[in-house]
Chains A and B, each alone.
Chain A
Amino acid sequence: MIIRHSWIATLALGILVAGLHGRAVAFPIDGDQTTLPPKTELNEDALDKPREVFHSELAGGKSYMINLGNLAFSSPGILGGVARQAAVSCGTCHVNGAGNAKLFMPKMSTHPGNFDTTGPLFNPKADNLVLDPVRIPSLRGARYLAPYGFDGRMPSLRDFVHNVIVNEFAGPEPSPVILDAIVAYIQDIDFLPNPSLGPGGRLVGKINDSERRGEALFLKPFPHDPSLSCAGCHTPSGVFSDHQQHDIGSGGLFRTPTLRNADFNAPYFHDGRFDSYDQVVAHFDRVFDLGLSAQDRQDLAAYLTAVGDGTQPYEHDGAGASLKEINDFTTVLGTAIPAGDKDIVSLAVDTIGNELRELTEQYPDHKNTSVTGGEQQRVLARNALKELVLTLRRIDMAVADGRIADATTDYRNYRYLMAAAVPSVLAGAEPWSLFNSKVHDSHYAALRQVMQSKHAPQ
């Protein structure tokens, strides 16, 4: 224990002093030896990522269950073998609870942003032998959006999550606490606020003429069937959905999706066939013979854009954002270590360790040709993050052996490093990291060049 204290203090001091002087598996997936099909695009190299707005943050802070749910949501370990091997978690498709419009997996997708949940890759037993991918939905506001599934077949979010883990991704039967935690996490993700939406879902504030005309068209009965209107299903309210299933000429009965935050939820329709509101409006005009003029279509698209807006939807991916999420995950250990909860500690250590390893790769090593300069800073950053990974593993080993006091000491040391020393060192190395857009672009351009050599005509 004394040894741990000494090295951690030395390390913290060392990296702080040096800092004063002085972001899969984030590659394009390719080659013959990958778990996921070659040319899979996970959009992991995006510098800007969707941002979560948590309900509980407005209420004073996230609970243990919400943080545990976020952790499990980010853990490949709760899914089946293929997903675990490929480091795929719930968060791979639902980035920070939003959708992943760029995700494309050959054999499982037909369009960026859709995915065959009954395909052959992750659970062959659930394969329906038909390539029928569905749009990856955003989870924002999910607590208001029952029933669940693109066809609304599941009234319970808990049952839906269970189905995803066990059937779609062949994971082991999750413990009740993990299921409850994931549900708590999902239910805590709010819609992004939209100041243009007032009571009853009406547009308020500074609304332009096109949006106002679009709103009137949205409310107007369809000419050939006055019992129908856009608003008849997308009921203007806090949710813009009637929670019912309808046939809108897209190939079956599908649940009415929310229009809230839909600006960020493309592609549209159950299978993600449309990329824009213009295409969506054109579909309804054609199927329901609405007789819309070009101006009408434009006005409806403008209205949908106004309803689907939200403030602060993205955050720039930097060390700070990663550390904030890692720190949220780490709070789970503060409860699980004293309780001697081996399973939760292992899940946390594996998941946080993965995150820290991914963060390490944001600081290129000495062999990386994409960046010059800042060698000392990069070494310090990589070293500090690796030390954190090992500190976590020591905690896992200690709890597994019943050495709770040792684990508690290491947890304290970990928190000590994360409080100041590590953020300082990472900030010092940021100019030479992949968080710098120039370094990022150079790195990925080189990677893609390597990958393209594989597909060049010979």
Chain B
Amino acid sequence: MGVEKMIDARGAVCLALLMLATGLRATFAAPLDDAAETYRPYMIEGIGQALAGARNLRERVAAGDLTGAKKAWISARAGWERSEVFTAGFVPELDAEIDAWPNADSGFHGIEARLFGAGRTDAGSDTDALVEHLDNLHGKLRSMELTPQGLLDGIVRLTYEVGESKADGGESRISGTSLDDMRNNVAGIDFAYRTIFATALKTADAKLADAVDARIERLKVIVAARDLPSIDIPGLRRTTEELVITLQSASAKLGLQRATLEAKSQ
């Protein structure tokens, strides 16, 4: 079979599957939409914690309290990392402002370099900007359209990201809190999946749901390591990839499009 014919044939199969998926979507649409709404208060709570931490951080920075500022940064960071399930997909521009990397001039990592790296508290303008951006995001969450597809995409993307190598110290290497980031990411993945998709998937395909559960549990065990160098890196990679594949298989069972790995550019 020539390449063109192969692609034609695959295109036809794709169309057929799309129709099938559309039918499934009708079956699961309402429960999943409702489940996504159930998740909204927790999104608001997570970003609310990050915002409260950022406000406290701003106060501690203004008071020149380095120890207190570091604690507040870690607290704000925890809420943020749990929320990364949806930030990249739903608010990419704010995500980039708040979590910019590697440039040390802005966002969480700019402040991290100042506090934990240089050991200084002259980060007033950066903390002002962080509070403003988180406040802006917090306000948007109440009316933002939440789609099950976007949330499943977010879970899949974050899962893949958790499997990236941390041999260099990870994302928050200056503060030494990259393992906390990972734990909060996994907690966010676990919570979002259980809140939005677990029930529907158990109904559609109990075996697949069990496979998702088993891999999330394995991930939780891996990130429970005592420190970052103790993380089973090959196991982490394998488990995250297997979880992504299982969730992608679950997409069709849930009447959704196959979950994608990158947020579309704006």
> Contact residues of A with B, CB < 8 Å?
2-3, 5-10, 12-13, 24-25, 27-36, 76-77, 84-87, 350, 353-354, 357, 365-370, 375-376, 378-379, 382-383, 386-387, 389-390, 393-394, 396-397, 443, 446-447, 449-450, 453-454, 456, 458
Q: Is A31 a contact of B102 with CB atoms below 8 Å?
A: no
Indicate if B64 sits at the interface (CB-CB under 8 A): no
Given known A350-B234, A382-B262, A390-B244, contact A10–B14 (CB-CB < 8 A)? yes
Q: List 11 A-B contacts (CB under 8 A).
A: A9-B14, A24-B168, A31-B169, A31-B174, A84-B233, A366-B92, A370-B102, A370-B103, A390-B245, A450-B102, A450-B113
What is the CA–CA distance of A153 and B131 in the complex, to the nearest angstrom? 64
Any chain A CB within 8 A of the CB of B118?
A: yes
B5-13, B24-32, B48-56, B74-82: which lies at the interface? B5-13
Cross-chain contact of B176 among A3, A31, A387, A397 (Cβ < 8 A): A31
Inter-chain CA distance A283–B264, complex, in Å, is: 61
Q: Contact: B101 with A9, CB < 8 Å? A: no
In the bound assembly, the distance between CA atoms of A447 and B117 in angstroms comes to 13
Instruction: Give the docked Cα–Cα distance between A446 and B105 (Å).
Output: 9
Q: CB within 8 A of A367: which of B101, B114, B229, B261?
A: B101
- B242 at interface by CB-CB < 8 Å: yes
Flag if A29 contacts B168 (CB, 8 Å): yes
**Apart from A9-B6, A446-B102, what 7 extra A-B contacts exist at CB < 8 Å?**
A2-B17, A6-B13, A25-B165, A34-B173, A36-B167, A84-B234, A396-B238
| A367–B242 CA distance with the chains assembled, in angstroms | 26
Give A13 to B13 CA distance when docked, in angstroms: 14
Q: Encode B228-266 as 1/0 by CB contact (under 8 A) with A.
A: 110101100110011011001000100000101111111
Q: Is the CB of A5 within 8 A of B10?
A: yes
Asked if A25 meets B167 with Cβ closer than 8 Å, knowing A2-B13, A33-B176, A390-B244, the reply is yes
Number of A-B pairs whose CB atoms are under 8 Å? 171
Contacts of B104 in A (CB 8 A): 446, 449-450, 453
Give Cα A31 to B238, complex, Å: 25
Asked whether B117 lies within 8 Å of A456 as measured between CB atoms, the reply is yes
Q: How far is the CB of A292 from chain B (nearest CB, A)?
A: 47
| Shortest Cβ gap from A377 to chain B (Å) | 9
A375 to B262, CA, bound (A): 11
How many residues of chain B get a CB closer than 8 Å to chain A's CBs? 62
B160 touches A367 (CB 8 A): no
Q: Tell me if B58 counts as interface (CB < 8 A to partner A).
A: no
- CB-CB under 8 A from B6, the residues of chain A are 9
In order of increasing CB-CB distance, the 8 nearest A-B pairs are A453-B117, A9-B10, A31-B173, A31-B169, A375-B265, A369-B103, A33-B228, A458-B119
Q: Which residues of chain A are near B7, meaning CB under 8 Å?
A: 9, 12-13
**Any A CB within 8 A of the CB of B200:** no
Contact A458 B118 (CB under 8 A): yes
Binary per-residue interface labels of chain B (158-185) against chain A in the complex, 1 for a CB within 8 Å, 0 otherwise? 0010001111111001101011000000
CB contact between B114 and one of A6, A357, A453 (< 8 Å): that residue: A453
Residue numbers in A under 8 Å from B248 (CB-CB): 390
Q: Are A353 and B100 in contact (CB under 8 A)?
A: no
CA of A10 to CA of B13, assembled, Å: 10
Flag if A34 contacts B167 (CB, 8 Å): yes
* Given A3-B17, A366-B88; A30-B229 close (CB under 8 Å): no
Instruction: Among B96, B178, B233, B245, find the residue whose CB has the most chain A CB atoms closer than 10 A.
Output: B233
Given A6-B10, A10-B10, A379-B263, are A393 and B102 neighbors across the interface (CB < 8 Å)? no
> With A and B bound together, what is the CA distance between A7 and B21 in angstroms?
13
Query: Given the complex of chains A and B, what is the CA–CA distance between A454 and B112 in angstroms?
Result: 10
CB B115 to nearest CB in A, in angstroms, measures: 10
A7: which of B101, B109, B258 is its contact (CB, 8 Å)?
A: B258
Contact (A25, B168) CB under 8 Å given A5-B13, A378-B265, A383-B262: yes
B120 at the interface (CB under 8 A from A): yes
How many whole Å from B28's CB to the nearest CB in chain A? 18
A182 to B13: give the CA distance in the assembly, Å: 44
Chain A nearest CB: distance from B140 CB in Å? 18
Chain A residues with CB under 8 Å of B116's CB are: 454
* Residue B99, interface by CB 8 Å: yes
Contacts of B10 in A (CB 8 A): 5-6, 8-10
Q: Name which of B10, B105, B169 has the most chain A CB atoms within 10 A of its CB.
A: B169
Check A33/B179 contact, CB under 8 A, given A5-B13, A366-B95, A383-B262: yes
Instruction: Please indicate the chain B residues that have their CB under 8 angstroms from the CB of A27 in the complex.
Output: 168-169
Cα A23 to Cα B216 in complex, Å, equals: 30
* Pair A394/B245 contact, Cβ less than 8 Å: yes
Residue of A nearest to B178 (CB): A33
Q: CB of B205 within 8 A of chain A? A: no
Asked if B34 CB lies within 8 Å of chain A CBs, one says no
Q: Are B167 and A24 in contact (CB under 8 A)?
A: yes
Expressed in whole angstroms, the Cα–Cα distance for A31 and B170 within the complex equals: 9
A353 pairs with B241, CB closer than 8 A: yes
User: Which residues of chain B are within 8 angstroms of A87 by Cβ–Cβ distance?
Assistant: 165, 167, 233
B65: Cβ under 8 A from any A Cβ = no
A16 to B10, CA, bound (A): 15
Q: In the complex the two chains form, what is the Cα distance from A92 to B14 in whole Å?
A: 43
Complex Cα distance A25/B169, Å?
10
In the bound assembly, the distance between CA atoms of A390 and B248 in angstroms comes to 10
B197 to chain A, nearest CB (A): 19
Check B227 for interface membership: any CB of A closer than 8 A. yes
- In angstroms, Cα B227 to Cα A300, docked, is 54
Given contacts A383-B260, A453-B117, contact A34 B169 (CB under 8 A): yes
**Which A residues lie within 8 Å of B228 (CB)?**
33-34
Taking a contact as CB atoms under 8 Å apart, the answer to whether A368 and B102 are in contact is yes
**Residue of B104, B116, B179 with highest tally of chain A CB at under 10 A:** B104
